[in-house]
Amino acid sequence: MSIGLPLSLFWQPTDDLTVNLSYVPLLNITARVTYRVAPHLRAFAGYEFANESYFLAGRADRQDRFFAFEQRLVSGVQWEPFDRVRFVANGGYAFGRRYGEGQAQFDSLRDRVDVRPGPFLGLHAGVRF
């Protein structure tokens, strides 16, 4: 467990089961439970709340930023056939998606776009060095 910010909690009640919780201020939260099905195969499920902001080039007000918010319920499988190679297939339901411009994430956003909730699928392949 990490004390301070960002906050991170890793708990392994058994050899095959892990629980990960993390919080990065102000609105980035991840909660995931992972179960080892086989030596190189894991299944997971969780909740994610992500917030991103960007300064846009050419903005009229230098304090304005572009904000993106999204929440997800996610589940999937992770396969690591080799020590540094990972494949992930996931899917779930995304909701609370909104985008817009403002000076702070709790402002009422201008040019706000709300995206309807819906299912998603994802594939990821990665190599660590």
Question: pLDDT digit string (tens) for 86-113?
Answer: 999 999 999 999 999 888 766 678 888 9
pLDDT tens digits for range 23-51: 987 778 999 999 999 999 999 999 999 99
68 closest CA partner among 92, 91, 93, 49:
49
